[in-house]
Amino acid sequence: MDNLHHIVVVGGGAGGLELVTSLGNKLGRKRRARITLVDAGLTHVWKPLLHEVASGSLDASANEINYRAHAQKHHYEFQLGCMSGLDRDAKQLVIAPFHDEEGVEVVPERHISYDTLVVAVGSTANDFGTPGAQEHCLFLDSLMQARRFHNLLLNAFLRKNHDANQGQTHELPITIIGAGATGVELAAELRLASRELPVFGMSHLQASDVSISVIEAADRILPALPERLSAAATRELERQSVKMMTGQPVSEVRAQSIVMKDGTELPSEMTIWAAGIKAPGFLAELDGLEVNRGNQLVVEQTLQTTRDNNIFALGDCAACPQPDSERPVPPRAQAAHQQADALFKTLCNRLEGKAAVPFVYNDYGSLINFSHYTTVGNLMGNLSGRSMYIEGKVARLFYVSLYRMHQVALHGFLRTGVIWLMDRINRAMHPRLKLH
């Protein structure tokens, strides 16, 4: 086993987990290579769903994948821990010690040897150094953060319902900084929660008591997407009584308020930062590998890092060039999915001494889901050179299919069908929102 070519993938997000699943099924099962996944968590939840976990419209426990169980079924190994260093000469990565919730060391620092290393650690929120953001904002980078947000949201509703019952001031101002896809979709999910939660024993609190605001520094929401999509999203948020402030940079975040660049101070008891992303900071210290200003590893079109042909990167943490474009591949789930497919072919070729497969990104469009209200989007992207606008049930069908495609990549068609059936049963048996 030790003589097998060892492929180590760091990061079990959308791209990383799909990659080790494919490699395990083809190479690991036939003992043609040893495949190892390294991740700081024990379970995987598709990151585009974290805002639904935060609002309570999705039960994470019913949608998470245990890495150890998945590894056993798909012929790869799993190592729990966070990558903290790299020795390229020795071809070893360093895994930081793992501690339990009380700070007790469970597993000491480890060194893992590799023949091929793939870095797929995703991204984290970028607060651009805004004063008070780290101290007073909530973030949605991980399942742990999403669950913490959900608990805080439930407690806030409970507290305000009690205040309303006592005849006290009970308005709850919630602010989302950043009107990209995550911020816009989260606003719709929170509006749903404000309308559903009072039904479950919180009758003194009304949806109108919950103020939801979205702040965007650009001149429109969804600034990275086509204007027609932005306009449709604006109309839908207005219908859901979500306040939008565009062209308004935030200069400071305080415990109970937000200060705008022009000095205006807005009340905010719950503030969520969704304004930008960057790659994890430790990537800038990986034994001389090239990174850009956003800490992304700079890679060739083959996804190989520019200074080491044995190290690859994919997903949000990689700055991959596109043919005929000055901009790198955008940090989106569909990009990570496509890169995992391309890199799977490259790594299989690598064992046979064949050339790497150049990655070409195909933009299949964008979809924005407004909880149970509606979905809007544009399809085709640069596939045909034209864009087709869709909304309503058709758009919702395409939106749901994105997650099902991810599940098919991890489980196959048969198991995904069973999972879909169980999801339908769970929705019929449980309340629309998770209440604990």
Average pLDDT, integer, range 384-388: 62
Give me the pLDDT at residue 383, please: 43
Q: Is 48 helix (H, G, I), strand (E, B) or coil?
A: helix
How far apart (Å, rounded) are the C-alpha atoms in residues 286 and 205? Answer: 51
| pLDDT exceeds cutoff 70 at 283 | yes
* Closest listed residue to residue 344, CA positions, set 316, 302, 306, 305: 302
State the DSSP code for 138. Answer: B
Consecutive H or E run containing 231? helix 227-239
Query: Residue 178: which region, alpha, beta or left (left: phi > 0; alpha: psi -120 to 50)?
Result: left
Q: Could you tell me the domains of the chain? A: 5-123+279-351 (3.50.50.60), 133-275 (3.50.50.60), 363-430 (no CATH)
Q: What is the pLDDT of residues 409-421, one digit of tens each?
A: 899 898 888 888 8
The answer to whether the CB of 111 falls within 8 A of the CB of 126 is no
How far apart (Å, rounded) are the C-alpha atoms in residues 240 and 211? Answer: 11
Question: Quick one: what percent of the chain has pLDDT higher than 70?
Answer: 95
In 48-142, which residue ranges form alpha helices assigned H by DSSP? 50-55, 67-74, 133-136
How far apart (Å, rounded) are the C-alpha atoms in residues 384 and 372? Answer: 30
Give me the pLDDT at residue 384, please: 46
Most confident of 112-126, 225-239, 387-401: 112-126
Q: Which tokens is 203 given?
A: 């009758």
Measured CA angle at 368 (ends 192, 173), to 5 deg: 40
In 222-328, which residue ranges form alpha helices assigned H by DSSP? 227-239
Q: What is the pLDDT of residues 302-354, one digit of tens each?
A: 999 999 999 999 999 999 998 888 889 999 889 999 999 999 999 999 999 99
Under the banding of pLDDT at 50, 70 and 90, the label for residue 30 is very high
The answer to whether the CB of 10 falls within 8 A of the CB of 36 is no
Q: Which tokens is 417 given?
A: 């069908």
DSSP secondary structure string for all residues of 156-191: HHHHHHHHHHTT----EEEEEE--SHHHHHHHHHHH
Under the banding of pLDDT at 50, 70 and 90, the label for residue 151 is very high
The answer to whether the CB of 105 falls within 8 A of the CB of 99 is yes
* Closest listed residue to residue 93, CA positions, set 402, 375, 311: 311
| pLDDT exceeds cutoff 90 at 136 | yes
Q: Is 316 exposed, middle or buried (0-12, 13-18, 19+ CB in 10 A)?
A: buried
Q: Which tokens is 419 given?
A: 């999972």
Look-up of token digits 């864009």: 387
Average pLDDT, integer, range 35-62: 89
Under the banding of pLDDT at 50, 70 and 90, the label for residue 252 is very high
Q: Which tokens is 278 given?
A: 């960057």
